[in-house]
Amino acid sequence: MQLEGLILKDVLLRGARTGILALPIHDAVAVEFDNQDWANDTMEDAWQTVMSKFHAPASNKVNIKFTS
């Protein structure tokens, strides 16, 4: 729970610096429709930034292969 808070805090501060209003909702943020790409990229970068301090090889990229 603390890590989620650190990630959201980082995203909200980045939004404030760039003039983008982001409202926290549990473990996500609500932004205007035009800012959805910014929110996605910023959430991923904030996650990587915070998690790398606690677990160096952590990654938010997952390869999924579907087999039949």
Q: What is the mean pLDDT of residues 48-68?
A: 71
Query: pLDDT higher for 68 or 14?
Result: 14
Cα dihedral sign for 35, 38, 43, 46?
Answer: negative
CA dihedral 53, 54, 60, 61 (to 10 degrees): 90
Q: Tell me how far apart the alpha carbons of residues 68 and 57 are, in angstroms, rounded to a whole number.
A: 31
Is 48:64 a contact under the CB 8 Å cutoff? no
Length of the chain: 68
Has residue 63 got a pLDDT over 80? no
